[in-house]
Amino acid sequence: MTLVLAALLGVLGWTFTEYMFHRFLGHEYAKYTEFGTQHLHHHRDQDYFAPASAKAKLSVVVSVLIGLVAVPLAGWTHGVVFTASLVSSYLIYEFIHRDLHVRAPTGAYGRWARRHHMAHHHTSPGLNHGVTSPIWDIVFGTRTTSDSVRVPKAKAPVWLREAKDDRYAEDYQLFGR
C-alpha cells in the first residue's frame, strides 16, 4: 500500500511541477529561461514543440536529481517508485500535450482538456497552466472555465479548422480568416 502511495505522490508531484514550470518559467519569467523561450515560440506557433532531444536530456538530469533526493528521504524502493511515477507522468504529459494540438477530441477527458488548453492559448494565457489537470489552477486561483472558446481560425489546430461539420461548435467559435 505504501508503494501505491509513493506512486500517487509521484503523479501529484508531476502535476505540481507541470503547473509551476508552465506558469512561472513558461510565462511569468519566460524571458529568462530557455524553457520560456521555447514555450513562447509554441504560443506563437502552436505546431511548434521544443526538440525531443532537449526534453530527453532534461528529463534524465531531472530524474537523477529527484532520485538523489527521494531515495534518501523515502528509502530505495519508495524513492525509486516516486521518481519513476513522476517521470512517467511527465512522459504522459508530453503525449497528451501534443495530442491536444494535433488530434480531435475523443471522450469526456479529451474534450475537457482541449477546451481547457485552448482557453489558455486563445483567451487567457495567464490562466489554466495545468495542462493535464486543473488541480493546481483551482488551488492557486488561476483556473478559468467557459462553455465555448473563441479561436482565431489562423491559429486553430488542423482538426478544428478542417472539421467538415459543426461537431465542435458547442466548444469552439472560430473567427477571422
pLDDT tens digits, 6-43: 999 999 999 999 999 999 999 999 999 888 999 999 99
> Helices 76-102 and 107-122 meet at what angle, rounded to 10?
70
pLDDT tens digits, 132-166: 999 999 999 999 998 899 999 999 999 998 888 88
Q: How far apart are CA 139 and CA 144, in angstroms?
A: 12
Task: Say how many CA atoms lie within 13 Å of 82 toward its Cβ.
Answer: 22
Q: Is 77 in contact with 3 (CB distance < 8 Å)?
A: yes
Could you tell me the pLDDT band of residue 59, with boundaries at 50, 70 and 90? Answer: confident
Q: Which residues is 150 bridged to in the sheet?
A: 173
